């Protein structure tokens, strides 16, 4: 198993090693079967809750097991090494939903949901994307109309991870259609069991098959005023802040996929013989292994740097985008090379790299495509260089 030789503090190493043991013992044995059946890993998520992996962004007073951002990223990577599907369920639950409630929810909302989320009795879903609003999140059309005691939500959300198993939804809707980006959108906490919420069937997709995505239809769904996250009109800022944090998580997931691809390639190339010697002796294979290992080290540095900036309370949006861009493109490249190194066997499901190949692609798309990450990075750079007036 390939390691990046960089200093982590003892607590971070302990989290990494404990999560690695959990992933190897609980997640990995069923990962291929869950993928083949396109089956939500309910037992693995329940087991993850038992070891604290569903409460990593929840304060202790609400039953959580809060960790620093570097440790959270390490945990996501180790789980993704075994199953990218399980890793993304944990990432959305912790980073996009539990963190949103912990940072922006009322005392009542925190008390209602966070303890249940920490122990896995309530899984979180994050409903931002719509049929006509993907990368352009500011153009969402779901409306929240003010009524007595709160708001009524109507509209359609798509590609919502864990929607079919969610116990709480963080949903974004337009409350002031006349406003521009600032002041236009509000974030709400929605119970998926309440009237006016319809969850569609799981979509058929290329990869991460054990992680479902569904559409959500809101039809005059009543949401109490107390279920507003933050301020009315402040939803877009909340969404973008959460996505910056979530991009660290997806970068870590991508690093886990790349690490698994490298691990399998190292093992296979050392044992597979052609022309009387292990294929690892051929320079063509060695260069592939060297390139993946070097890029994996770089990806981890970018991820940990963004996470440390987050822990320090420093702006980290550009750095999170850099980490997500580099790690996701590495995951696709590493999985492709793993299939090539395995040759014909790489095309078979029984060797495992075929699943990595399918799982890797989504990391370049969700929580901001590679194109959007480049825009974020470039704007950050240009903002630094603009002369002051």
Q: Catalytic residue positions?
A: 367
Question: What value, to the nearest 5°, has the Cα angle with vertex 72 and ends 69 and 73?
Answer: 90
- 69, 70, 71, 75 alpha-carbon torsion, rounded to 10°: 100
| Burial profile 20-57: b = 16 or more Cβ within 10 angstroms, e = fewer | bebbeebbbebbbebbeeeebbeebbebbbeebbbbbb
Cα separation, 292 vs 298, whole angstroms: 10
Q: Among all chains, which residue has been given the structure tokens 């974004």?
A: 172
Cα separation, 112 vs 119, whole angstroms: 13
Bridge partners, 109 (sequence order): none
The phi and psi torsions of 323 (rounded to 5 degrees) equal -65, -45
Cα separation, 362 vs 38, whole angstroms: 16
Nearest alpha-carbon partner for 34 in 344, 298, 349: 349
Q: How far is CA 227 from CA 52, 189, 232, in A?
A: 26, 5, 11
Name, in order, each residue with C-beta under 8 angstroms of 250's C-beta and a sequence gap of 6 or more: 88, 91, 324, 327, 328, 363, 366, 367
Residues in the chain: 389
Cα separation, 135 vs 132, whole angstroms: 9
List the structure tokens of 344.
């014909």
Cα separation, 233 vs 187, whole angstroms: 8
């Amino acid at each position: 198993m390939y390691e990046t030789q960089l200093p982590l503090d003892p607590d971070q190493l302990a989290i990494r090693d404990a999560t690695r043991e959990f992933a190897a013992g609980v997640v990995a044995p069923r990962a291929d079967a869950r993928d083949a059946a396109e089956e939500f890993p309910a037992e693995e998520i329940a087991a993850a809750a038992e070891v604290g992996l569903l409460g990593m962004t929840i304060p202790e007073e609400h039953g959580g097991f809060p960790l620093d951002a570097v440790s959270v990223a390490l945990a996501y990577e180790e789980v993704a090494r075994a199953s990218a599907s399980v890793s993304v369920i944990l990432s959305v639950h912790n980073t996009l939903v539990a963190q949103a409630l912990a940072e922006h929810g009322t005392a009542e909302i925190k008390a209602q949901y966070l303890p249940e989320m920490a122990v896995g009795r309530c899984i979180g879903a994050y409903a931002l994307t719509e049929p006509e609003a993907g990368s352009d999140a500011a153009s969402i059309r779901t409306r929240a109309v003010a009524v007595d005691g709160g708001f009524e939500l109507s509209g359609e959300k798509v590609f919502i991870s864990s929607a079919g198993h969610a116990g709480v939804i963080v949903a974004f809707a337009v409350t002031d259609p006349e406003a521009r980006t600032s002041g236009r959108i509000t974030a709400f906490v929605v119970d998926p069991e309440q009237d006016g919420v319809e969850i569609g069937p799981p979509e058929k997709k290329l990869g991460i098959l054990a992680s479902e995505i569904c559409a959500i239809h809101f039809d005059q769904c009543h949401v109490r005023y107390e279920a507003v996250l933050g301020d009315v009109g402040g939803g877009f800022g909340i969404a973008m802040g959460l996505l910056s944090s979530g991009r660290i998580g997806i970068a870590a997931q991508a690093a886990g996929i790349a690490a698994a691809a490298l691990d399998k390639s190292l093992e296979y190339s050392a044992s597979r013989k052609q022309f009387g010697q292990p294929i690892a002796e051929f320079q063509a294979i060695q260069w592939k292994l060297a390139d993946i290992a070097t890029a994996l080290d770089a990806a981890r540095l970018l991820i940990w740097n963004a996470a440390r900036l987050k822990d320090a309370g420093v702006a980290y949006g550009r750095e999170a985008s850099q980490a997500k861009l580099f790690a996701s493109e590495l995951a696709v490249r590493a999985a492709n090379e793993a299939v090539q190194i395995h040759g014909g066997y790489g095309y078979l499901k029984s060797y495992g790299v075929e699943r990595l190949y399918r799982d890797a692609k989504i990391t370049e798309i969700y929580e901001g495509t590679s194109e959007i990450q480049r825009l974020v990075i470039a704007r950050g750079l240009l903002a630094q260089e603009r002369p002051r007036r």
